[in-house]
Amino acid sequence: MQLTTPTPTQSKDLGAKVFAFGFPLLLSTETMRQATAEGVSGSGVAANAFAHVSRFPDPSFRAIVAANVDTLYSSAWLDLSLEPVLMQLPDTGGRSYLISITDAWTGVFASFTRRTMGEGEHTVAIVGPGWSGDLPADTRRVDAPTSYAWAIFHLHGRGPQDLAACRAIQRRLTLIPMSHDGAGEAPPQPGDVSALAPLSTAYQQVMEMDAPQFLAALALRMGANPPAPADGPLLERLSAIGLRPGKPFEWSDIPAETREGLAAGLEEGREMVASEARTDGGGGWLVNSPAGEASTDTDYIGRARAAGFALGASRPVDAIFPLSTTDSEGRPLSGRHEYAISFESGALPPVEAHWSLGVYDLDQLLVDNPLDRYALGDRDELELDADGTVRIVVRHEPPERPGANWLPAPEDGFYLMLHLYQPDEGVLDGTWTAPPIRRID
């Protein structure tokens, strides 16, 4: 079929669409580059090896925003371009956990929990596109749609006294390139890091790319990370301007009026991607746009916004994190006021794994408080009112009777976030919603 150069109007529309389409790929691959390049992230994290954060988050923790204080985190960037990688999942001793694996387009293509894997140890082979061969016996095969992927491990502890046991479990979570299984050169070793290096610069760098840089990088990185079949119509439009996966892209080969339209459209797409990525969950709560499935997701704006706000987010069936900076009447949350979140009798968050309510500053980081208490949830002995209601009080100054249900807040503005791991159907279909955040002073 003869492809024609788009008109200026068509070029602008194409530019806006291609920015949203390509943003997740460029963000994830740039983040991987920074994380695995010595001297860039400062963490010394190798590809195909887990980096473990071997302590429960506290106010000195800066690696992950809105971190769950009952969780140990591990992260691994996977390079599947040469061969499969074998992931050894440890026996967690009945503790809940989540391993979520996203492809280079930020779609979740695999997740492992006690619900999906059962108890005991398991070996999973993560296989990149185009590979063929035999895998070791008793290995579950998972096919990745791209050569690069990101695995994030959440292990839910049973309180501070459980830290040593959780660390031992964490160290048994390993990755082995298949050629190293049982013989040959030693594989990359897991590392304990005090904090996974913040990589916010990747977002900034992609957002600041001009049109020639963005389109050339997109063409290059699509070579190792093929788009999904559902992206065919957009790829056909891109081929009309000479942009093809894995092929050099020459901005100067495009007519001037087409370049002008593309540049204007890319700027428009950039502004749309940077806008709100959450939906109203009621009662003052917002819900993040969910991670998509790369093979079917052509909501490019939604996918890009979700990636920009929470790169590496899990599927809703595995984890949902309602959050808020306002009360039920839309007023900003502030430690100068007192708030109540009341879970009626029998209406605590319905989850199969773990839930907690955490409080953070406006950068979504934990803040010191005299109780050393940063979250309340199913690991705590919460007090019940006479009617069975669990009423959590959030304020900066101690209440007259602090009790077990006081969640200390920062002095000024703050975030609240619910961590809901393996939510029940009621959360997913909206039958259960988080209680309103009521200001009571």
Residue intervals in the chain for CATH 2.60.120.600: 278-439
At residue 121, the pLDDT reads 96
Query: Which residue shows structure tokens 């959440």?
Result: 154
DSSP single-letter state for residue 91:
P
At residue 231, the pLDDT reads 96
Query: Which bin fits 133, alpha (ψ -120 to 50), beta or left (φ > 0)?
Result: left
At residue 200, the pLDDT reads 61
**Are 312 and 416 in contact, with CB atoms under 8 Å apart?**
no
State both tokens at 176: 């082995």
Give, for all 441 residues of the chain, the pLDDT tens digit: 345 678 889 999 999 999 999 999 999 999 998 888 654 334 446 789 999 989 999 998 877 788 999 999 999 999 999 999 999 999 999 999 999 999 999 999 999 999 999 999 999 999 999 999 999 999 999 999 999 999 999 999 999 999 999 999 999 999 999 988 765 555 555 555 544 444 568 899 999 999 999 999 999 999 999 999 999 999 999 999 999 999 999 999 999 999 999 999 999 999 999 986 566 666 779 886 665 555 557 899 989 998 888 888 899 999 999 999 999 999 999 999 999 999 999 999 999 999 999 999 998 899 999 999 999 999 999 999 999 999 999 999 999 888 899 999 999 999 999 999 999 999 999 899 999 999 998
Fold observed for domain 42-198: Immunoglobulin-like (2.60.40)
**Are 195 and 220 in contact, with CB atoms under 8 Å apart?**
no
Residue intervals in the chain for CATH 2.60.40.1610: 42-198
At residue 46, the pLDDT reads 78
Right CATH for 8-30+203-273 from 1.10.3360.10, 2.40.50.140, 3.40.50.300, 3.30.930.10: 1.10.3360.10
From the number of C-beta atoms within 10 Å of its C-beta (0-12, 13-18, 19+), residue 120 rates as exposed
Residue intervals in the chain for CATH 1.10.3360.10: 8-30+203-273
**Residue 324 is which amino acid?**
S
CA angle, residues 232, 151, 247, in degrees to nearest 5:
35
DSSP single-letter state for residue 10:
H
CA distance 238 to 245: 10
CATH number for region 278-439: 2.60.120.600
Residue 138 sits at φ, ψ, to 5 deg, of: 60, 35
Calculate the dihedral angle through the C-alpha atoms of 189, 194, 195, 201, rounding to the nearest 10 degrees: -90
Pairing of strands 415-423, 323-324: antiparallel
pTM of the model: 0.89
State both tokens at 398: 């101690």
